Amino acid sequence: PRQPAKTLWYDRPRYVHLEFCVEDSTDVKVAIEDQRLVFSCKNADGVEFYNEINLYARVNSKDSREKRSDRSITCFMRKWKEKVAWPRITKENIKPAWLSVDFDNWRDWEGDEEVERAMVEQYAEV
C-alpha cells in the first residue's frame, strides 16, 4: 500500500521549495511538469510513498531540480511568473493532511533574492 510522504513547502520570489520527508529513501522518482509534480520513493522498510500535487500556478519544469539527502528529498521549481506569491502550493484550495508550510524557511521576501540565489547555486553544485 502506498502512502503520501510528509511534505513541507515554502515560497520564494523565484522558486517554490518542497521537501518530502522520507529517511533513507531509495528508488526516488520526481516528475515536474508545468502544473503538476509527482513524487515517489521507498524507504528502508520498503514502504512506498507517492505524492501527486496539482500546482497552484505554472512552473518552468526545465529549471527545476531535486536533491536527495538521508533525511529527505528537496525539490525546487522555478516559477513561471516570478515575484508572485503563492498563497498555497496546491491548485485546489484544500490542505491535505500530509502537507505543511515549512515555517523555519518561510519569511518575508524583503532582500531575500540574494539569499535565494546563493541557495540555488549551492544546490547546483551538488
pTM score: 0.86
Fold of 7-125: Immunoglobulin-like (2.60.40)
Averaged over 15-28, what is the pLDDT?
97
Name the grid cell of 97: 493532511
Name the grid cell of 77: 521549481
Task: Tell me the domain boundaries of the chain.
Answer: 7-125
Q: Within 10 Å of residue 77's Cβ, how many Cβ atoms?
A: 24
Task: Give the confidence band of 123 by pLDDT, cuts at 50, 70, 90.
Answer: low
Are 73 and 65 within 8 A, CB to CB?
no
41-57 pLDDT tens trace: 999 999 999 999 999 99
Name the grid cell of 113: 533574492
Torsion of CA 86, 20, 36, 14, to 10 degrees: 40
